[in-house]
Amino acid sequence: VKFSLCSANFGNVSLKKSIERAAELGFDGIEITVMFHARPTINIKERKNIKKWISDSGIECSALHFIFDKDIKLASEDEIDIENSITHIKSVIDLAVDIGTNVIVVGGGGSRSTKSFQNKSEIEKNLIKIFSITGGYALEKNVFLAIEALNRYETNFINTLKEAKHFADKTNCPNIKIMGDTFHMNIEEISIPQAIEETDENLIHLHFADSNRLAPGEGHIDFKSIIHTLKNKIYKGFCSFEVFAISPDLLHFNTYEEADRHMKLGKSFIDKLIQ
Ligand code: LER
Ligand code: MN
């Protein structure tokens, strides 16, 4: 099991500093919060810099996450929205290749939610189309798209790992996989360890946050049995601390010092469980 943390966890500091601090704290990787730290509009020089900061720190880029902003409407019947979504996801795939990661987290709760006036099965058909096309593009570039199950207060589309798997299967793309987030799973799954246990090699990534969205150990989720299950499964993916609210600009921590204290606490809590 490898551990990383999301770059925006450190509050309002630069990406370079988040990368360096993740390495100093003993994390194996950094997950880049795209809409906060590395939008697809950044140029090639900036991409090379990020890649170098990561390799100079001796860690990996575990994934890209928070890839959608409010302009992207995934759940739509409008051809222009669908085209925009496809173009945007392709640009994030190119970004992943340039930064040097092969995992992209597909969250976007608000964006993929269907509205009451929409025809749910029509929207689902469009979502399958969007991800079949971008999944094909990702396959050429050796990138995996990990569909994230999110809780019901963030989306009405894909709340459990089983539903994520069902959707991934419908796209017919071998590189469309699934991921869970302990914060969401605490609300939606009957048992977090059991839900993890029941996945196969399709589970390629995890987000770690406690019941209150703080660092592991600061709420009431039973991380001991989660770690036990992951070790039994010989899970090879990353568990990435994702410690902030539903949008990366709604940071939990205003100061770097406060964020740093929580990351340290979480890391030592997990280190004790992993031994
Ligand atoms: C939001 O709650 C979340 O878990 C993110 O990973 C979604 O992109
Ligand atoms: Mn998450």
Q: Which residues surround ligand 2, an ion (CB under 5 A)?
A: 181, 207, 242
Rounded to the nearest angstrom, the distance between the alpha carbon of 21 and the centre of ligand 1 is 22
* pLDDT 10s digits, 171-189: 999 999 999 999 999 999 9
Q: How far is the CA of 109 from the centre of ligand 1 (A)?
A: 7
CA nearest neighbour of 230 among 254, 208, 245: 208
221-250 residue pLDDT tens: 999 999 999 999 999 999 999 998 777 778
Residue 154 alpha carbon, nearest atom of ligand 1: 2
Mean pLDDT of the chain: 96
> What residue owns the CA closest to ligand 1's atom 1?
246
- Percentage of the chain modeled with pLDDT above 70: 100
- pLDDT tens sequence across 30-57: 999 999 999 999 999 999 999 999 999 9
Q: What is the DSSP letter of 218?
A: S
* CB-CB neighbours of 275 under 10 Å: 6
Q: Is-contact 18 30, C-beta < 8 A? A: yes
**What pLDDT shows up at residue 151?**
97
pLDDT at 12: 86
Range 92-96, long-range pairs (CB < 8 A, 24+ positions): 92/34, 92/40, 92/64, 92/67, 93/134, 93/137, 93/138, 93/141, 93/143, 94/40, 94/141, 95/34, 95/38, 95/40, 95/42, 95/47, 95/64, 96/64, 96/141, 96/143
Q: Which ligand is nearest to the CA of 110?
A: 1
Residues in the chain, total: 275
Query: What are 103's strand-pairing partners?
Result: 144
At 97-154, the pLDDT tens digits run: 999 999 999 999 999 999 999 999 999 999 999 999 999 999 999 999 999 999 999 9
pLDDT at residue 165, rounded to an integer:
98
Where does the pLDDT of residue 207 fall: very low under 50, low under 70, confident under 90, or very high at 90 and above?
Answer: very high
Residue 157 CB neighbours (<10 A) = 20
Residues paired with 239 in a beta bridge: 3, 206
pLDDT computed for residue 244 by the predictor: 87
Report how far ligand 2's centroid is from the alpha carbon of 60 (Å): 19
